[in-house]
Structure 1
Amino acid sequence: MTPLTWLYVPGDRPEVVAKAVACGADVVIVDLEDAVAPHRKEYARAATAELLADPPPVPVHVRVNAPRTPLGGADLAALAALPGLSGLRLPKVTSAGEIVDVAERSAATIDGAPPLYALLETALGVERAYAIATSHPALRGIALGEADLRAELGVRDDAGLDWPRSRVVLAARAASLPPPVQSVHPDIRDLDGLARSCAHGRALGFLGRTALHPRQLPVIEVAYLPTAREIDQAEAVVRAAAVEPGAQALPDGRFVDAAVVAAARRTLSLARRGG
């Protein structure tokens, strides 16, 4: 099943993590970095290790501290080999070498590196998006960290981030990675704004979104599932391709070739998730 909803929870709140695992998110992201105060880092790591000693009922990723810092190194050493870990999210990645380093360090202690996900949160990271996306087979996805990037660039209007967003979408596609997951919408009360933002993100090529609160999850899921009209159009494309393979025009004037058929099949696959 294609994950559409990814819920961040602070690693030093195990009671909140337990609720998050049962709240309906496709993936839970336990945050050991920005969401945890310095004096709570060790406790958060220990609580997360306890959670991941056995596989939870949903995939759980962990956003570790910067891997080349002592805190990040300790996070990797404690968590990378645990059976309940589905992915490591690496913050503020600026080079391919950082991904290779984490993959090699992890593989030295377990049979292969865990799935890695790079968060690009600086101008340098975005500029090197393709090199990072192709850095190592263990890397399974890239995404933007928009709060830090917005601050670094001095962007005041949301449209100012559209170029970095498109840059990351293109880099992921060029590297044969899944479409990036959209960054969080920070106002957890503004569900109408979240829906509009999701529609914009979807138009740019994102698929799914990270959330800060369970109330955001249904809005994100609806926004990223195909509409009835999109499903009808995709079914027409697939039917036409089954009757006459190769490039052709549909009665409504749309031109159908192999790429359009592949996109239609992706739409129908995603629709089955919602059904």
Structure 2
Amino acid sequence: MLTGLYVPANRPDRFAKAVAAGPDLVVFDLEDAVPVDAKVSAREWAVAWVAAHHDPVPLGHASDAERTGPRLELRVNSPDTPWLADDLAAVAAVPEIRLRLPKVESAADVLRVLEQVPSARITALIESPLGLERAFAIATADPRVVAIGLGEADLRSSLGVDGPEGLAWARGRLVSASRAAGLGAPMMSVHPRVDDPDGLRRTSIEGRSLGFVGRMAIHPRQLPTILESFTPTAIQLAEATDLLAAVEKAGVSAGGVIVLPDGRMADPAMIGRAQEITTLATDIERSRRGGRG
């Protein structure tokens, strides 16, 4: 998934609009976006909407290329709040629901949620130094963990850092943990300023250089910039396409090292990266044709 969009769960008037905006993922936010006195009604609205519209995807079934609409996910309240138990009780009957669990600090946090909602698919948000140190353990806590991500506002405060430089190591650590766990490249956290497209573009490109693919958004107008920022450059795509064509012509796609006409050496690692680049370009083009982003 390349683009994700948060929608406040206490704004049911925005649910269909968020889906129509065309992201690959819509996250109904029961946590930070919802005032305390609106938690109950927000839960009722969001769970009912997701239950009526979500498309269960069995584990191991990669169907994103076949989808005509976004994945739906609920960001529940954090484990240290009194609202999580009611959130989980409300979603327990929804098959294979995707839950975004905030402030995860251990594999045990994930497993406690899965005990209550066994069919859930979990995106674990890491928002503290302790959670960051345990990122790989969290990512591998259970096969039902399908993604990990950073909660950068909380993490920045906990680390006492300002600006992207202070988060560079944390972002790299998350990418490594996600890849090592077999979850692929993670999505970036949101850019909190809707009126700052240049900052969104700059930080997205920085994230792309660290290994992220795609990003969450807080407003539909951010989605085109996110897609643009994570699109491989024309040079990257041309080089990847030429390399794969040369590999196919040489008949060594299963392994080995070849020398391209320009003298470059191509080994399996380079071939794998070229395949990722061409696949990413195809996914982005599919999103654009389908009206997503």
Range of TM-score over shorter length: over 0.9
Alignment of 1:64 onto 2:70: no
> What is the match of residue 61 of structure 2?
none
TM-score (norm. length: structure 2): 0.87
| Structure 2 unaligned spans of 5+ | 55-68, 286-293
Q: CA offset at residue 68 of structure 1?
A: 5.7
> What is the match of residue 145 of structure 2?
139
Partners of 1:117 and 1:247 lie apart in 2 by 38
> What is the match of residue 59 of structure 2?
none
- Asked if the contact 2:2–2:284 (Cα under 8 Å) also holds between the matched residues in 1, the reply is no
Letter matched to residue 66 of structure 1: S
Alignment of 1:263 onto 2:273: yes
Moved more, 46-55 or 247-256: 247-256
Q: For 1:62-116, what per-residue CA distance to the aligned partner results, in whole angstroms no more than 9, with x for missing partners?
A: 1000146431111111124325x75100000000111111112212xxxxx2210
Residues 27-66 of structure 1 mapped to structure 2, 5 A cutoff = 27-56=25-54, 57-66=69-78
Residues 107-186 of structure 1 mapped to structure 2, 5 A cutoff = 107=118, 113-186=119-192
Letter matched to residue 90 of structure 1: L
Partners of 1:86 and 1:78 lie apart in 2 by 11
Q: For 1:103-162, what per-residue CA distance to the aligned partner results, in whole angstroms no more than 9, with x for missing partners?
A: 12212xxxxx22101000000000111111111110011111000011111112320100
Q: For 1:22-49, what per-residue CA distance to the aligned partner results, in whole angstroms no more than 9, with x for missing partners?
A: 1111110110001101111001100012
| Structure 1 unaligned spans of 5+ | 108-112
Alignment of 1:99 onto 2:110: yes
Q: CA offset at residue 163 of structure 1?
A: 0.5
* Local SS of the residue matching 2:117: helix
Equivalent in 82, 100, 103 of residue 89 of structure 1: 100
* Local SS of the residue matching 1:141: strand
Q: CA offset at residue 58 of structure 1?
A: 2.5
- Asked if the contact 1:66–1:72 (Cα under 8 Å) also holds between the matched residues in 2, the reply is yes
* Local SS of the residue matching 2:83: helix
Letter matched to residue 58 of structure 1: P
Partners of 2:186 and 2:127 lie apart in 1 by 14
Alignment of 1:218 onto 2:210: no
Q: For the structure 1 residues 102 and 68, does the alpha-carbon distance in structure 2 shift closer, same or farther, using more than 3 Å as the test?
A: farther
Partners of 2:11 and 2:179 lie apart in 1 by 36
> What is the match of residue 22 of structure 2?
24
Letter matched to residue 54 of structure 1: A
Partners of 1:5 and 1:158 lie apart in 2 by 20
Letter matched to residue 156 of structure 2: R
Partners of 1:81 and 1:238 lie apart in 2 by 46
- Note the aligned Cα RMSD (angstroms): 1.5
Q: Number of residues paired by the alignment?
A: 267
Q: Which consecutive aligned stretches of 4+ in structure 1 deviate over 6 angstroms post-superposition?
A: none
